[in-house]
């Protein structure tokens, strides 16, 4: 994929996901994708239909959607609330020469149906804020990061409601979240006609508890038939990435 030239703004850099030949504009003071975005994209089932419609909610700088440019066919809509981060997503799309397939919608996901018709998406992705806002919440003083990590502007119930509304019947939704909220997550998905079908737990090291869970749902899917697929352990005891994660980040070349 041929990279194009785009203007970088103050405090921005270009990072590369070598395994997918994708370049992403990042800003450490504003937003930078992390491993959860790479793992969520890897978890998505391949579908190369030319008419496929994919929506990425809480899209950030567009990383998850861009990582899927070769795995999913059709058109992508990247929905991101924060203007500066949505602008980074737009320029990352231009950087990778994908403006014919990707569109950024700088808007609140609460308003998404004003721009995308209900029951029109085949695939909906979301890497949402993980942490509920409580009186005890230790929120990041950086507003960009606080909104990305805490349920300040949206929450799990809204994400599930909008994902369900966007998906066609039997459409597939994909979510990454925190295992300590798993009972709430599964209940909320079911309440919104999203039947969990496949789960994968992610562990930072062999002796640690899981710190992420990947979930695939089917809208109005048949009950039952859930699969918990083999876990992924990110690093060895010394903190070095294990082979599966190295391959996701760097492809087959770099060992």
Token pair 């990590």 in the structure block, residue: 149
Task: Tell me how far apart the alpha carbons of residues 157 and 121 are, in angstroms, rounded to a whole number.
Answer: 19
Predicted confidence (pLDDT) per residue in 100-151, tens digit? 999 999 999 999 999 999 999 999 999 987 656 555 555 555 554 554 554 4
Predicted confidence (pLDDT) per residue in 50-86, tens digit? 999 999 999 999 999 999 999 999 999 999 999 999 9
pTM of the model: 0.91
Q: Determine the angle formed by the axes of helices 156-166 and 182-191, rounding to 10 degrees.
A: 40
| Per-residue 3-state assignment (H helix, E strand, C coil) for 162-224 | HHHHHEEEEEEEEEEECHHHHHHHHHHHHHCCEEEEEEEEEECCCCCCCCEEEEEEEECCCCC
Q: Determine the angle formed by the axes of helices 243-250 and 35-43, rounding to 10 degrees.
A: 90
What are the structural domains, with CATH classification, of the chain? 13-249 (3.40.50.150)
Task: Tell me how far apart the alpha carbons of residues 190 and 194 are, in angstroms, rounded to a whole number.
Answer: 5
């Amino acid at each position: 994929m041929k990279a194009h030239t785009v203007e970088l703004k103050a405090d921005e850099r270009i990072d590369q996901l070598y395994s997918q030949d994708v370049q992403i504009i990042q800003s450490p003071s504003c937003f930078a994708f992390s491993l959860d975005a790479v793992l969520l994209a890897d978890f998505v089932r391949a579908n190369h239909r030319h008419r496929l419609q994919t929506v990425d909610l809480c899209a950030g700088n567009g990383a998850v959607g861009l990582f899927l440019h070769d795995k999913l066919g059709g058109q992508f809509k990247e929905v991101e609330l924060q203007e500066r981060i949505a602008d980074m997503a737009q320029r990352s799309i231009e950087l990778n020469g994908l403006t014919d397939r990707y569109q950024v919608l700088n808007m609140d996901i609460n308003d998404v149906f004003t721009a995308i018709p209900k029951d029109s998406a085949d695939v909906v992705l979301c890497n949402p804020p993980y942490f509920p806002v409580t009186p005890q919440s230790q929120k990041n003083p950086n507003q960009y990061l606080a909104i990305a990590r805490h349920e300040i502007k949206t929450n799990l119930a809204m994400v599930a409601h909008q994902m369900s509304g966007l998906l066609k019947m039997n459409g597939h939704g994909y979510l990454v979240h925190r295992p300590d909220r798993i009972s709430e997550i599964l209940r909320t998905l079911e309440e919104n006609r999203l039947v969990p079908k496949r789960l994968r737990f992610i562990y930072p090291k062999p002796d640690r508890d899981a710190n992420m869970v990947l979930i695939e749902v089917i809208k109005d899917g048949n009950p039952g038939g859930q699969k918990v697929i083999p876990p992924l352990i990110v690093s060895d005891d010394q903190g070095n990435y294990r082979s599966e994660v190295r391959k996701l980040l760097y492809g087959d070349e770099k060992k």
